[in-house]
């Protein structure tokens, strides 16, 4: 049962890692193009390059996930514990980066739409249609990244999935401790020892 279960977890991690790679490449490419089209008159929100750094973090999640799946050994899951924790940490950071990316893209798209309406020229007049198109792609990629990251975080958090990947199962009688105001309790199988 355990071997079959971990194979299913690794399959899901591998598929999500490929999705992260695909979306990360698209987000980075869209961010580079957005930055390129905004370069003659670079200012907020185009100066943040949010598509580039969000895409790179998303690419890192995909690479770490694939590396984890390749190096995982069911006999010694603790050997890849740092990869699993790094992947989980990157996914949580990617949620924040994705939210910032969507906000910056929405502000940039709104700025260009407003300048089309009012006739201002700060939103690179020669490249305005391309800039608006890349902002739309940035919004789409950012939304997909947020959705993927939340789904992946929930998947890793429920039913001990992350614990199985790291080799840390709580059913083995391992002691756990809690400390509050200088008083510490040690628990073994939910029973207070000290």
User: Per-residue pLDDT tens for 58-106?
Assistant: 999 999 999 988 888 777 777 788 888 889 899 999 999 999 999 998 9
CA–centroid distance for 179 within its chain: 32
pLDDT of 1 reads: 44
Domain boundaries along the sequence of the chain: 2-192
Are the beta carbons of 68 and 14 closer than 8 angstroms?
no
pLDDT of 182 reads: 66
pLDDT(150) > 60: yes
Q: How far apart are CA 34 and CA 22, in angstroms?
A: 18
Q: 119 CB contacts (<8 Å, ≥6 apart)? A: none
Q: Quote the Cα angle for 125-131-137, to 5°.
A: 165
pLDDT(49) > 80: yes
């Amino acid at each position: 049962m355990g071997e079959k279960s971990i194979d299913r977890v690794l399959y899901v991690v591998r598929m999500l890692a490929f999705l992260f790679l695909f979306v990360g490449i698209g987000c980075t490419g869209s961010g580079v193009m957005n930055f390129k089209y905004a370069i003659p008159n670079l200012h907020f929100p185009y100066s943040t390059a949010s598509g580039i750094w969000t895409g790179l973090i998303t690419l890192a999640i995909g690479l770490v996930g694939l590396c984890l799946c390749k190096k995982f050994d069911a006999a010694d899951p603790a050997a890849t514990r740092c990869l699993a924790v790094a992947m989980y940490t990157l996914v949580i950071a990617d949620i924040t980066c994705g939210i910032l990316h969507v906000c910056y893209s929405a502000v940039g798209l709104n700025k260009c739409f407003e300048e089309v309406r009012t006739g201002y020229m700060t939103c690179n007049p020669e490249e305005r249609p391309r800039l608006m198109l890349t902002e739309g792609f940035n919004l789409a990629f950012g939304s997909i990244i947020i959705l993927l990251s939340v789904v992946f975080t929930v998947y890793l958090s429920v039913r001990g999935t992350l614990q199985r990947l790291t080799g840390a199962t709580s059913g083995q009688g391992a002691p756990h401790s809690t400390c509050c105001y200088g008083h510490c309790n040690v628990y073994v199988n939910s029973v207070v020892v000290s």
